[in-house]
Chain A
Amino acid sequence: MGSSAVTAQSQAVLQVDSLIKSFNGIRALDGVTLELRAGECLGLLGPNGAGKTTLVRSIVGRVIPDSGSITVAGNIAGSPAARATIGYVPQELAVYPLLTARENLATFGRYAGLKGKALQEATDWCLEWASLRDRANDASKNFSGGMKRRLNMAAGLIHRAPIVLLDEPTVGVDPQSRERIYEMIEHLKQGGTSIIYTSHYMEEVERLCDRVAIIDTGRIIAEGSPSELVRRTFGTRAELIVHTKHSSAADEWCSRFGGVRTDGEIRIPIAKPVDDLPELLRSAAAANVELHDFSLQTPNLQAVFLQLTGKDLRE
């Protein structure tokens, strides 16, 4: 993780303040406040429908909020100056399928105001960055899923914007291609690009992001570096993960020890594993809780999310 590269004193390049947006009476964003600091990668972690995409689309000016404000490098979101500062990679494969990779990049480069030699250089850089040089003249409809994803990312970065919004860029991508995408993002980070990275994959957020904002039902419920979030939520505690048959006895046992229950799984934070574990197991036996198996884990972001919301990230 590159948290060392970003300090708390870093200047905010993007600020979201008390953002509220409803669709048909349903709050998609419910008072979101956050900031992106120069050169950091901020992970926006939340399940599907949490409001991640609405927040990103608000930042690029495609969603008009009901209230609240967004400033991008000092400009109001959606203004031409703000749009010029942002590289937006939507969740969908937003490229022209009949155009080649080079033509797609050139098209979006022109839309971003590039022309002539600058456009040519930017196109070449993007092809190199996305490892698409050898397929530059092939129609994108013939690309594999991973290649399309990489082209999709490159098209959003053609104008080398200092702020990049990546909305779930690895959806539907195989592990090998995902690894390549991580490398591309790390390359961007090394270049000093400020990134907002939305995902519901805990692993990639932990790997790529300096800070994480956990979003659920349109609200930011926790914010900090991954290790901070774990420490803040669990302290030095470990987590006992128990697979058990669903029963009222199991529920009662779970809540007695401050645990969280999901389908067939109970997670209980324990402060001193060596001391507390035997007591926990004894009480389970006394309460007639049928344990199938159990394991002890160091908590991660997924556990943080579960602990804070009572829901699994993948729900």
Chain B
Amino acid sequence: MIGPVVRTSLLNLRRDRSALLLTFVLPVAFFSIFAVIFGTQRREGTPRIHVAIADHDHSRASQRLIAGLQAESSLIVLTAPKQKEKSDAQKPAPFTAETAEAAVRQGDVPVALIIPKGFGESPIAFGPARADQPVIQLLKDSSDPIAPQVVSGLLQKAAMTSMPDVMAEQGTKYVDQFAGGLTSQQRNAMNEQIERLRGELNQQQTGGAGGSTTGTSNSEDAFGGLIAVDSRDVIGETKKNPIVAFYAAAIGVMFLMFSASGAGGVLLEEVESGTLDRVLSSRVNMLTLLAGKLVFLTCVGIAQLTVMFVWGALVFKLELLKHLDGFIIMAVVTALATSALGMVFAAASRSRAQLGAMSTLVILVMSALGGSMFPRFIMPESLQKAGLVTLNAWAIDGFTKIFWRDEPLTHLWPQVAVLLCIALVLFFVARQLVRRWEYS
């Protein structure tokens, strides 16, 4: 009798599209997203990291170092802020220590390097740096733990591969200083070699020798410490538990979508039980009903986020009271957008089972792409851009601006505007979809 049981189960599965979706489509969709994120990284190395460089030295050594870093395929080196519009005739001024730090604070780049004046005179430190030695500053956003490590390593690598002449010159100086000096013959020979090295290097650079710095050896470990670097968190250094702010937003948004779609399912129950028919034959019309449900779901969403952030404040020292105004703004627009999404799910479904399958699929994919499962900065650039179609990304960005970057409320306008637009469009879509229930 096992055969008939299997056959019946198979027939049921074939007829249940929701179960089929969850069984086959969801795992494949998820697998694809993870494969793209981590598989691409394996093939292309880590995602390209934006690094701002402020060169206060303008020496041959500093330019060499910048050229070396620019040749790194895993870095996108910015020596000046990006031009907002292509039509602008005036090029933006090169980064200074202040503008580079601001770029990190605003989240434009995760890392900035400040090359101080006088760096070129003594760029290499064999042994610990002297107190008076100009040291490169590495400014970082501690919400991204990967980028500073990569930049730091590549900085040391660039020192080795892009400025061997400077190293040789520096070595000669050390010999001169600590080993009793070189004879004039030795010094001449040494200078000749250094000049030859420079000549070769110039030739390489004019010939587009970026490949010379793209080796696979783990050079940052082997030569670590050649260039003295002073690393400093410019974002999050005073936060008690920095990553909590990110995860409170990321997880909060994902579960807001789940609860909104679940609560939106009440509409389906009303349809199935005939209650909708009764309600719509009273003084309530469909638009009023939908608007009422949107208000309710939004209030529930705000309450849900509030509980989550209050818990974060009590247990994980999240600075809720300090950012209460920003939290309220983001909670309202996020809850509004997720509620409208929940209503679209319900309005597009024919049954509770279908709603469950569809919403699970879409929410998990959106959460993966939008940064609710892992930060978007670890994703390839194409996926980071694709993530912007999800409301998770905009909500998380908004909450991060408040809780992480301490940005003023006015900086929230893009996130608020986008989430409000999403809510408006989704509500309109839901209104169109429920027309099929409005009249026969």
Contacts and interface: CB of A to CB of B under 8 A. Distances in A.
A111 B279 CA distance: 7
B440 A84 contact: no
A108 B276 CA distance: 11
A94 B282 contact: no
Interface size class of B (residues with CB under 8 A): 10 to 19
B280 interface: yes
A97 B279 CA distance: 15
Given A62-B440, A63-B439, A96 B283 contact: no
A224 B164 CA distance: 110
Given A57-B440, A63-B439, A95 B283 contact: no
B4 interface: no
Given A62-B439, A62-B440, A92-B273, A86 B278 contact: no
Nearest to A80: B283
B281 interface: yes
A280 to B, nearest CB: 48
Contacts of A112: 282-283
B274 interface: yes
B284 interface: yes
Contact of B282 (A54, A91, A111): A111
Contacts of A90: 274, 277-278
Nearest to B276: A94
A106 interface: no
A88 interface: yes
A83 B440 CA distance: 17
Interface in B259-282: 273-275, 277-282
B281 A61 contact: yes
Contacts of B275: 92, 94-96
B239 to A, nearest CB: 43
A73 interface: no
Contacts of B281: 60-62, 83, 86, 88
Contacts of A63: 439-440
Interface string B277-320: 11111111000000000000000000000000000000000000
Given A88-B278, A94-B274, A155-B278, A111 B440 contact: no
Interface centre among B280, B281, B283, B284 (most CB of A within 10 A): B281
B283 A57 contact: no
A178 B2 CA distance: 45
Contacts of B278: 88, 90, 94, 108, 155-156
A238 interface: no
A96 B279 CA distance: 11
Nearest to A92: B274
Contacts of A54: 440
Contacts of B439: 62-64
A56 B60 CA distance: 90
Interface size class of A (residues with CB under 8 A): 20 to 34
A113 interface: yes
Interface in A44-102: 54, 57, 60-64, 80, 83-84, 86, 88, 90-97
Contact of B283 (A60, A113, A156): A113
Contacts of B280: 62
A108 B273 CA distance: 15
Contacts of B274: 90-94
A21 to B, nearest CB: 8
Interface string B82-97: 0000000000000000
Nearest to B439: A64
A283 to B, nearest CB: 51
Nearest to B274: A92
B440 A23 contact: yes
A87 B49 CA distance: 67
Nearest to B280: A62
B49 to A, nearest CB: 53
Nearest to B272: A92
Given A23-B440, A57-B440, A62 B277 contact: yes
Contacts of A111: 279, 282-284
B273 A93 contact: yes
A94 B273 contact: yes
B408 to A, nearest CB: 43
B347 to A, nearest CB: 18
Nearest to A93: B273
Contacts of B283: 80, 83-84, 111-113
A92 B279 CA distance: 13
A93 B439 CA distance: 20
A222 B9 CA distance: 50
A112 B279 CA distance: 9
Contacts of B273: 92-95, 97
B277 A94 contact: yes
A155 B279 CA distance: 10
Given A57-B440, A63-B439, A64-B439, A83 B282 contact: yes
B177 to A, nearest CB: 85
Interface of B: 273-275, 277-284, 439-440
Q: Which 8 A-B pairs have the closest CB atoms?
A: A92-B274, A94-B274, A111-B282, A60-B281, A94-B278, A94-B275, A63-B440, A88-B281
20 contacts: A57-B440, A61-B281, A80-B283, A83-B281, A88-B281, A90-B277, A91-B274, A92-B273, A92-B275, A93-B274, A94-B277, A95-B273, A95-B275, A97-B273, A108-B278, A108-B279, A112-B282, A112-B283, A155-B278, A156-B278
Given A63-B439, A93-B273, 14 more contacts: A60-B281, A62-B281, A62-B440, A83-B283, A88-B278, A88-B281, A91-B274, A94-B273, A95-B275, A108-B279, A111-B282, A112-B283, A113-B283, A155-B278
Interface of A: 23, 54, 57, 60-64, 80, 83-84, 86, 88, 90-97, 108, 111-113, 155-156
